[in-house]
């Protein structure tokens, strides 16, 4: 990993220090061109300096650099008697204009290069040789100018592709981060619903049993002992469920999760609530079938939350009835009671997870929950859970 980091830094270093590298290159080219031009006079030396030094800014200020190089090139026919080695700076500047400068500067550089392809042969070739050779020299220079400009344009296109890929990578990274945050939020909400269902139901059963046992202890010690046993088993089950939920937070890839309750365990749930003292009946119709684990868990939790609300709000001597219907298209659940807790349930407490949690569970699987007071008293919960979750 460390070697890869060093390699990445070495690759990125030239991109970060472009001005330093271009300055060193410009100084080296200036030294070579001045050395070759010193024998032909001071004008040639001045032209070499004017054409080579501006290349130090060819990438950071390409328009300024190209303009200075063009000025030196236009002065060359006036100040230098012979063509100079510094003419290579014209090609470098033209490439830089095509690759890094604004479009107007890129096109202007191409036009000036083609203009130089006509001026140079007229100044240095035509006086000593025939017109045909001068035209050949002009054509050669023009082809060289166009080829250099096209190479610069290719570099511009390559830079644009690199920038597009970098932007796409940045957007994908942001999208992955957003998806991770959404997944974490959904998981926290799921765990909050599970924790609420487990804690609220178990504590409601324990409180109901404790209240009953307190009154029965004096008259019937055996009944009090049975109540304590129910409290103990309910507490152990709640503790196991809590450990299971909290274990999800510690699980890594490949860890096994403890099986979650499903619709098949609604009968056990009813028995547990009945043991707490609530008169609750169970009515199952239709042929039970295999359902996705998430749908089965939602069914169990909806019944559990409904019975918990009966224990908390229906009052003493209330009776409840649980209906489980395995219809051809969906699993339908119903929990009715004849107690007096309808007013408390119609308007849930702020931040409550009860009725809102049941409705949210059903919506996640394409179903719905309808709740409300029953005619003549009591409260009713009706839930529909399709067997196949929506894609």
Place of tokens 């344009």: 153
Beta-carbon neighbour count of residue 317 at 10 Å?
A: 9
DSSP 125: I
Identify the H or E element spanning 313: helix 293-313
Residues of the chain with pLDDT under 50: 1-3, 252-256, 344, 346-352
pTM above 0.75, yes or no: no
Write down the pLDDT at residue 120.
85
What length is written for the chain? 391
**What's the sign of the alpha-carbon dihedral 262, 266, 268, 273?**
positive
What angle, rounded to 10 degrees, do the helices at 293-313 and 354-364 form?
160
**Backbone conformation region of residue 277, classed left if phi is above 0, alpha if psi is from -120 to 50, else beta:** left
Instruction: Give dist(CA 52, CA 36) in Å, integer.
Output: 13
Write down the pLDDT at residue 142.
92
Place of tokens 């001068």: 134
Write down the pLDDT at residue 241.
67
Backbone φ and ψ for 21, nearest 5 degrees, come out as -65, -45
CB 54 within 8 A of CB 70: no
CB 364 within 8 A of CB 370: no
Take residue 191 and report the two structure tokens written for it.
């765990």
Considering only CA atoms, which of 164, 143, 15, 29 is closest in space to residue 86?
A: 29
CA quadruple 129, 131, 136, 140: dihedral, nearest 10: 80
Considering only CA atoms, which of 37, 84, 26 is closest in space to residue 60?
A: 26
Residue 34, CB-side half-sphere exposure with 13 Å CA sphere: 11
String of DSSP letters for 211-276? HHHHHHHHH-HHHHHHHHHHHHHHHHHHHHHHHHHHHHHH--TTPPPPPPP-GGGHHHHHHHHHHT
Write down the pLDDT at residue 356.
80
Q: How far is CA 164 from CA 34, 103, 151, 159, 168, in A?
A: 42, 19, 20, 9, 6
Instruction: Give dist(CA 329, CA 387) in Å, integer.
Output: 7
Bridge partners for 282 per DSSP:
322
Place of tokens 């202890």: 217
């Amino acid at each position: 990993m460390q070697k890869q980091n060093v390699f990445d830094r070495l690759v990125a270093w030239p991109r970060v220090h472009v001005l330093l590298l271009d300055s060193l290159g410009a100084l080296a080219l200036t030294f070579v061109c001045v050395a070759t031009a010193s024998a032909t006079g001071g004008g040639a030396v001045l032209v070499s300096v004017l054409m080579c030094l501006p290349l130090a800014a060819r990438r950071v200020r390409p328009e300024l650099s190209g303009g200075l190089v063009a000025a030196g090139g236009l002065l060359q026919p006036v100040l230098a008697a012979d063509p100079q080695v510094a003419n290579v700076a014209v090609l470098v500047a033209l490439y830089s204009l095509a690759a890094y400068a604004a479009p107007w500067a890129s096109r202007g550089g191409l036009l000036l290069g083609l203009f130089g392809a006509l001026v140079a042969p007229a100044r240095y070739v035509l006086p000593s040789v025939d017109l045909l050779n001068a035209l050949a020299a002009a054509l050669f220079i023009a082809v060289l100018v166009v080829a250099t400009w096209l190479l610069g344009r290719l570099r511009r296109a390559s830079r644009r592709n690199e920038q597009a890929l970098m932007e796409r990578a940045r957007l994908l990274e942001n999208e992955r981060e957003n998806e991770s945050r959404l997944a974490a939020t959904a998981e926290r909400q799921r765990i909050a619903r599970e924790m609420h269902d487990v804690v609220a139901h178990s504590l409601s059963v324990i409180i109901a049993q404790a209240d009953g046992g307190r009154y029965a202890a004096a008259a019937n010690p055996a009944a009090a002992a049975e109540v304590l046993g129910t409290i103990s088993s309910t507490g152990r089950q709640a503790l196991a469920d809590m450990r299971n939920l909290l274990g999800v937070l510690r699980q890594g890839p490949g860890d096994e999760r403890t099986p979650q309750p499903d619709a098949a365990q609604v009968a056990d749930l009813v028995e547990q609530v009945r043991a707490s003292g609530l008169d609750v009946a169970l009515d199952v119709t239709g042929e039970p079938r295999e359902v996705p684990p998430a749908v089965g868990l939602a069914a169990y939790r909806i019944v559990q939350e409904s019975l918990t609300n009966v224990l908390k709000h229906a009052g003493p001597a209330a009776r409840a009835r649980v209906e489980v219907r395995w219809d051809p298209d969906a699993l339908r659940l119903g929990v009715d009671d004849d107690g007096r807790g309808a007013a408390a349930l119609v308007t849930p407490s702020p931040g409550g997870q009860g009725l809102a949690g049941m409705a949210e569970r059903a919506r996640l699987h394409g179903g719905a929950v309808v709740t409300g007071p029953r005619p003549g008293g009591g409260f009713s919960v009706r839930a529909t859970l399709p067997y196949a979750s929506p894609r």
